[in-house]
Structures are given as C-alpha cells and as structure tokens.
Structure 1
Amino acid sequence: MTIPITHRAPKHAALAQVRVGSAPDSWGVWFPDDPRQIDWSRFLDEIAEAGYGWLELGPYGYLPTDPTALAEELGRRGLRMSAGTVGGALHRADEYAGVREEALRVAGLAAAAGASYLVFLPAMYRDLMTGASMEPAELDADGWKRLTGAVEELARTVFDEHGVRLVFHPHADSHVETQAQTERFLSATDPAHVGLCLDTGHIAYRRGDNAELLRRFPERVEYVHFKQVDPVVLEEVEREDLPFAEAVVRGAVCEPPKGVPSLESLADGLAGLAPDVFVIVEQDMYPCPPDQPLPIATRTCGYLRASGVGSAARRAGRD
C-alpha cells in the first residue's frame, strides 16, 4: 500500500522563527575524502547560493579542520555552523575511549565555528555498502544499558569540555531505528543531558510516525533533520532488504515535497518546539553528479521559505 503524499504547504506562524540550514550529505558528501564528492569550497559556495544560512560540519576532515581557516571560509560566505556530527558503537564498552576522543575533536572544531550541538549517530549493524550483517539487529538488555549510559556520559563530557549539547540521531540499519526503539531510548536517558535529533526521513524509513513523536516528546526534540523518503522506493527497499546506501542510490531519500512525511503533517509539532530550533535539510544522494545538488537545494530552500519556514528568522538576520 502506497503512503499518500500531501503537497499543500503549511502556513504556520510559529515556523517562521526556526533556523533553516542544510548539510554536506545534501551535496553527496558522506566521507572526509572521496573522489566522487565535490570539493569542499564548491560545497560552501553552493550552500550559500542555494539560500541557506546554516550548515553542519559533516564528516570530520571534509571541511578545513583549522578553526581559524574554517571561520574565515564560513564568514566570507555569510554561513554559520549549527552542529558537528559523530558516530560510534557505544553499546560496546571497549569502543568508548575511541568514540570519546573523536567526539571531543569534532565538538571542539564545531564549537570554535559557533555551533551549539553535536549530533550523535549510533553504529550500524549492517555494513553500509554491502548490507552484510555485522551483529544482531536488536540489542539485549545489557547492550541497551551500555548504549544509554555511554551516551549520557559522552553528552556530559562534550558539554563540559566544549559547551555543546549532544542530540541523539536514530538511524536506519542501527540499533535505534524504529519509533519503538526511539521511544525506548528516550525513556532510558536523562533529558538534562541528552536531546533528540529527529530525522524525519529515518523515522519514516522504518515506518514510524514523526508527528506522534513530536506530539509526545516536544521537550526532547531539540534539533531536526528534515528529510523525506519516496514511499514507492521504500517498498522496494523493504521487499529486497536493501542496505541504506543502496536505498539511497535507488532514490529512497527524495526531494521535498515529493515524499513523506509531508511538511504539513509536521507543522503543528514543529511549531510546538523551541521557536529558534534548527531545521536542517538532508537529502542523502551519495554518490551523485556534481551538478545535481545545487538546483535541488535551491528548490528545497525556496519551498521551505514559501511555506513560511524560517522566513522571520532570515529577515531578523538569524538565518
């Protein structure tokens, strides 16, 4: 059964205050260095040209890692940093030290560039490219306890060291991918330390209800990745049991407003969040032709503005 798609754009006054941005993966960037990815300077030029004022750091090492150089590159394009991103297998105790080191490195650079968040992604249980199973898809009780405890410890560390807030990002093919797993994670973690990065596409990818999560946990949703998935491609993904990377190649993550969840279905929930919450557009397209991202990003940014999302923030110079 195909999920109906709604194209009518919402006009919700509260959405005008949110801060809108995008991320390197909307330009086909998944890795620090890959010949199939566009040069970082072109990415910065194009994200600004598309109309976005905010961006995420992306994979550490893709953008300049010298804080002064990065600040100069952002400043001359009128761009500001919303968050850094890091991931790891915190359900495995022996990997905590390495993840901590990487998280502090990313958080330090992001904070130096003005970011206030660190997005944390759990490790995947399937190989990203091949789909081969690397461990069970479900954590046992001890695994859940290690994961939630380590995330809280890491959150306290990056805040104490760099003043950035950790927001946890459920992700397809990871141990926290479904709505039920997301709710379990939230119930087991302290909101004083850990927020939620609600990625609307990943929740929809596993048939979750983003609007319900927004209604039930508005105090936990501190950061949003706005992403849509194509319901027709999603049926192929499920039928063929494709890994996430192959799903992306097939077009599972699509250009708004062509997919689900619709912006209209999220409007009330987003309006109930903090007025200046970040809404970061992500459209995974790895790999993609170098001339493909900019037109899509420009149309998407225009669609959000026409829907009233971030319009007041932009006029006030906060976006």
Structure 2
Amino acid sequence: MRIDLHAHSSVSDGTERPAGLVAAALAAGLDAVAITDHDSTGGWDEATDAALSLGVALVPGMEVSCRTAEGISVHVLSYLHDPTHQGLLEEITKAKDARLSRAEHMVSLLAEDYPLSWDDVTQHVAPGATVGRPHIADALVAAGIVGDRSEAFATILSSRSRYFVQHYAPEPALAVELVRAAGGVPIFAHPVAEARGRTVGEATYDDMIEAGLAGLEVFHRDNPEARRPFLLDLAERHGLLVTGSSDYHGAGKPNRLGEYTTEPEVLAEIERQASGAVVVRPKHPGAPDSLSRARG
C-alpha cells in the first residue's frame, strides 16, 4: 500500500478542492491519503464522498499550528480526532481568528512598499478558508512581485522579514493534549525543517512526548537527510511512530503526492490508538453494506 499522511486542500492553503485532492491521490497511485488542512476539518465531508466514489481510503486529519514560548513555529498533525471536541475547537478557532488579524496587518505593511491590496489577497482564498501567508504569497505571484510561493516564503514572507507579524498559536504540548483528549493521534510534522526557520530543542520534544505525542514525521522533503538519524533515534528511544508524507498543496508548492509514504503498519497503529473518527474505506465487492466514515 502507498499511504501519504499529509496533504492540504483549498479549505486551508491548497489549490484543489477536497474532492480534487482525493482525485489527485488516485492519479498519483496512492491507496490512502490524509486530508490535513490547517486548523480545519471543513473538507472532511467532501473528501469522504470523493473517497467513497473514487476508491481511495481517506484518513481524516488536521494540521494544528503551534508556537513555543520562544516563538518557534511547530505544526502538529492530528489524525482521526473528533471534529466536534469543544476544547480543541475553541483553541483552533482562537488561532484562526488571530491568523486573520495577522494577515490583515501583514498586507497593510506590504502595501507600503508593493502594489498589493487586501482585495488582491482575498481573490486567492476559497470560500470558508482563513486567509494566511500562502494566500498573500499567491497574490504576490499574481502581481509579478515574486515568481512562486517558495520565493515568497524565502524572502518577503519569511519570519525574518520586516513584513512578518506573529499571531497567537497554542503551545505544542497543549495541542498534543487537546488532540489526545479529542480521541486523535498527534504526530510532530516536519520537526527539523530548518529552511522554514528555527527548530525546537529536545526540551520541547520531551514536553510533547510527556503530553502524549504519538510520532514524528521523519520522511519529509523539508527535513534535511543529515538530521533524520536524530529523529529516528528519538523515535526508537521513546517508542514513537515514524511517518513519511508529501505535505502536498496542489499547484501551490513543488511537493508531489506520494514522494514520501508511510508504512501500512504505522497507519494501523494510528487507527488502533484513535477513538474520535475512523478511516474512510471504500466498499469493495463482497464487503458488508456498512462503510467506515469520519464522524461529524
């Protein structure tokens, strides 16, 4: 089986609708794909219908945006959690509201130096999605200011830029606790992605593990190969799962579905630990009429 456990739709910052994401997974030869939009489960229903129709297994998930006390960005992938869990919902809603205010502030700063307006940015946001840096990047590309999203994030929109504005996000350990409380399985996404900015020290890993961290996304294009042995050793020492994923965003980034994959036994263990939702598996000939679907 070919399993990709990290992909985004237009519900957050991908360029394809949830159904389009599932169709792209099928075209890429995947047996299973996870929908992990930033701080949102809004694409689950559409993706579920597409998975059942197209014959691709779907892992309902979400990517929770976090930040340490030192200001280091951390992302936690949540798989198979209850999308109606009040504590987790409250925290991600607070973060989404802060992200919108941050985006407005960043655009106002950019407008002082570049021909960019808020309307230019919102043209790149799908209905129901929260405006974020990727949408600002798309507007910069459309205006001819940068060549693509990658250039935008490496320059104008980087955390080192004068246009960058921080926003509220939960501490990583709190996010892990909330995911577990919601019956989900938390995985630390691209933990040593140094090109994105500062990465955390072992104290943060220790705090997340104590809070219930289930695993590490080791095989990801943004994790330098030289740092992966550290992650594999950490996983072995603490009994953590090891995943591999693409972090696909459609046309928004160069990442391709299935460029890294996760072993079937790892997905099976994620399912064993989860109690908030289930993997959506299409019906096959001779199977019972009941189908596994995500709750909510």
- TM-score normalised over the length of structure 1: 0.42
Structure (1/2) with the larger helix percentage: 1
- TM-score normalised over the length of structure 2: 0.45
